[in-house]
Structure 1
């Protein structure tokens, strides 16, 4: 039976389309497919699921092109719980002890710190600078419920505080300069964590709303994609349609489907290949970067001004990885993390230079990956415009630049460069256009809620025609895989409860 109760399209067997096969889309589809009576279809633009979770076979092992860690692997983390359910974690990762460790969201200290003049930086000095940086960063989280903040951004707050500390430093000039260079590396590292070009772009007021879970960040030995593969194979056959990029989502209409001519649908999704999918509800899980680029053509009618404005204002930046494969390691056997400090840099000085001359200076260093078959691999992190510029270079240009960097920082001009490289290119990925979201200056947690609000917003029209999920729609866990998964579940549950209450009402009327 299809009726229009109070202006709503009501169907006992609603057709629900999920757009995007990342973890938010898979989570929503999984939940909806368990509900008897829902006709669920997932449209994925590419030939694979996982979205920004992407593991690749390389160097005789598996590397993470996208999501790397389970952040806060403990009982309240749904990614951790799902990984346990699917048996994807080792004993160490599952241990009670690891789940209780509080890291405060800060990356660990480096095993070795190299300066751009080829000297080892004293690790005690690095630790002192790290303590100062993270003490100040923790203070930025205290402005959450204040009507006004002293400055607009996290970056400005940190720089003003460093300025004040600078006058109290009793070190010689050389050490002061080195401390500022180390601080600059921590600023760049925080850009990788936040997925932004500069901490000056990150809003100070809402920064404390981002929530961190306890647990020692851990990885999947067989690859993060094992998780999304398990979710994918749990879905009934033919639920996922691959290579189906969506061109337009038409809503607030009355569309027909040739397979059920008597039924009317408020939404119709048109794919790039011309195929049309009428639906009662569409859950949009595409990345914010894609929405920013395509929202004017993706929705017809266009999104309400308030939602479109939020999409424009919210932050979405790029954090890329560069994997370097070596025949033999130049680092010590127990080395886990290599920091790179560019001398004569400072967070208090803006650099004016061409990207091609300095892009590699944004690289914060490398983590040492577990040894693979016959390869030794470093994974470097780089964020912002420099990261986006790096994507435009050839593999050989990147390899050559980083070989020069490594020779320079180790002080060994004969150092053998990497024999091969592999890197992510999230900014140029057409359906992603960056890495993850942050709350930008001029936006707030309320904006995240506005982005997550279903359309149409007036209750007189058909309810929940377009729903929104994805990491950028989770107010406290934005930028994370667990935020993305929870958002997919949230929208699936919204529809499940709508139909459960509709069913109750129908029974009551009878």
Structure 2
């Protein structure tokens, strides 16, 4: 009976990102034959998206494997599919533990057009990073001296600035301005408008894995493409925009030959699909935007409140290609230091006129033999969302003026520009999740909780939830998304696994 149920159960996965692909893979591996993925767009991958800038491969979406070591399932899959270079797969690379913050070799440029000396700027970097590490410790202690990471950092920078720094006013101001650049950069890392919105007590929930972050030489999409090739070729149904998931459904679904299914998925074009179970892997941003219409009956209040409370922000990239580099040969990261920003504030006063001030700097795409002379600029928050509304020419002009100002080089001109626009992507509605002020791990658990709730008399596990925002240790990452897809597939496997001679209905 259990094996027949496993083969015959209709399971639909909404979203063909890595969480959805991972869930489908695991279900097929365990003998579920009636599995399909409904994808709203004409492409797979979700927020894994590889693009091109001229002849160069660039990552519009997910950039790195964070913590490429044996504990990371994305790294293991990438190795199995031979998608990484030898250095990334080496034991030495896997052994490096950077605590989630790679120490790139930097160049510093100031708004007066100067290149700044490492001896002036490096102490500010070390000072700030120590405070950032401390901000991650409150999760384990249960203390929360401030409601947000931003408020904690601002107070501690003011309280703990070394007295000897103040003896040289110019160096002191530059170091304070550098701290402000780093605060804005942390908005990019956390995917938030301001660090004042990120919970201090929950900041340490995020766990890092060992390994020096690495990239895919031929693009991150190579991973999702390789995973899809292992699935039945007709498993993904593209251009199926799901309008509503009807659960606890009492009527017969479409083409069900009289069989009663508890879930019917209604698409925007009027198509319907019936299922025993559905795994929803859409972004938290999409759920926030469509929370009142996406489920019928609607989300239980505690799940709805967690969707509303949890943070989901925008972090965009602006790629620039140059004829020749203006940065040092060994440089991996360029910091932009606004000399008039000596007080910590990670938002701009007037977004329309000053959005570019939220751009903290650029990573240098390495190796040069692979990418040429390409920089990736980072910008987060509502300033980033405003940037998306501008034309490409306007963005290129503004970024060019920024670089002219900071380098003091009047001949500097990028050859090409490419940018991401994740906020206005209708199915992402932003970049990734963070634990917002007032949130806790319970909110992530609420997001991941299947419907109907435990104790219900209805057929169990009708609606399951996966995606990076549902993983309480690795939220905002590709490996968190993958693990969440596996988790929900395993939930169904356990449900259909015989226990003591009967079919288990474990939740």
Give the SS at the match of 1:170. helix
* Deviations 1:403-447, CA, capped at 9 Å, x for gaps: 1111111112232x1122100000000000100000000111111
Matched, 1:387 2:384: yes
Q: Give the match for residue 7 of structure 1.
A: none
User: Does structure 2 retain, via aligned residues, the 8 Å contact 1:253–1:267?
Assistant: yes
> 1-side partners of 2:503 and 2:191: how far apart?
48
Deviations 1:44-96 (A, max 9, x none): 00111100000013321210000000000000000000001111111101000
Match runs of 1:133-148 below 5 Å: 133-148=128-143
Per the alignment, residue 471 of structure 1 pairs with 468
Deviations 1:188-215 (A, max 9, x none): 1111110011111110111111100000
Closer, same or farther in 2 for the Cα pair 1:110/1:151, shift >3 Å?
A: same
**Match for 1:282 among 260, 274, 278?**
278
Aligned mate of 1:495, from 486, 492, 495: 492
CA distance in 2 between partners of 1:170 and 1:374 (Å) = 42
Out of 282, 288, 292, the residue aligned to residue 288 of structure 2 is 292
In structure 2, relative to structure 1, the CA distance for the partners of 1:349 and 1:244 (3 Å cut) is: closer
**C-alpha distance in 1, partners of 2:222/2:339?**
41
SS at match of 1:256: coil
Matches within 5 A, 1:134-213: 134-166=129-161, 168=163, 169-213=165-209
CA distance in 1, matches of 2:159, 2:299: 46
Secondary structure of the 1:262 match is: coil
State the SS of the aligned residue for 2:425.
coil
CA gap 1:236/1:503 in 2 versus in 1, 3 angstroms = farther
Show the counterpart of 1:402: 399
- Shift of the 505–401 alpha-carbon distance from structure 1 to 2, 3 Å rule, reads same
Q: Unaligned 5+ residue runs, structure 1?
A: 3-9
Find the counterpart in structure 2 of residue 304 from structure 1: 300
Pairs within 5 Å for 1:258-277: 258-277=254-273
**Post-superposition offset of 1:506:** 5.2
| 1:218 matched residue in structure 2 | 214
Question: How well do the aligned residues superpose, as a CA RMSD in angstroms?
Answer: 1.9
Separation (CA, whole Å) in 2 of partners of 1:347 and 1:427 = 29
In structure 2, the partner of 1:121 is 116
Task: Kindly indicate whether the alpha-carbon contact (under 8 Å) linking 2:469 and 2:475 is maintained by their aligned counterparts in 1.
Answer: yes
* CA distance in structure 1 between the partners assigned to 2:109 and 2:155 by the alignment: 27
> 1:197, 1:28 → 2: CA distance?
31
**Which residue number corresponds to residue 313 of structure 2?**
317
8 A contact 2:105–2:332 mirrored in 1: yes
Give the aligned partner of residue 456 of structure 1.
Answer: 452
How many Å apart are 1:151 and its aligned residue?
Answer: 0.8
Contact 1:327 1:374 in 2 (8 A): no
**Deviates further, 160-169 or 305-314:** 160-169
CA distance in 2, matches of 1:347, 1:212: 30
The answer to whether the 8 Å contact 2:314/2:430 transfers is: yes
Verify the 8 A CA contact 1:255 1:268 in the aligned structure 2: no
Provide the rounded CA distance (Å) in 2 between the counterparts of 1:143 and 1:374.
40
Classify the secondary structure of the residue corresponding to 1:185.
helix
Is the counterpart of residue 505 in structure 1 residue 502 in structure 2? yes
CA distance 1:503–1:16, change in 2 (3 Å): farther
Match of 2:63 in 1: 68
1:38 offset after TM fit, Å?
3.6
| Cross-structure match for 2:342 | 346
Alpha-carbon distance change, 220 to 308 in structure 1, aligned in 2, over 3 angstroms:
same
1:243-297 superposed Cα distances (whole Å, 9 cap, x missing partner)? 1110000011124245442321111001111110010100000000000000111
TM-aligned CA distance change 1:332 to 1:12, over 3 Å = closer
SS of the residue corresponding to residue 76 of structure 1 reads coil
1:235 alignment counterpart: 231
**TM-score, with structure 2 as normaliser:** 0.95
Aligned twin of 2:373: 376
For the Cα contact (< 8 Å) 1:57–1:63, is it kept in 2? yes
**Structure 2 unaligned blocks of 5 or more:** none
The residue that corresponds to 1:24 in the other structure is: 19
Secondary structure, in 3 states, of the residue corresponding to 2:257? strand
Distance 1:402 1:265, change over 3 A: same
Q: Is the 8 A contact 1:322 1:424 kept in 2?
A: yes
Give 1:90's aligned residue.
Answer: 85
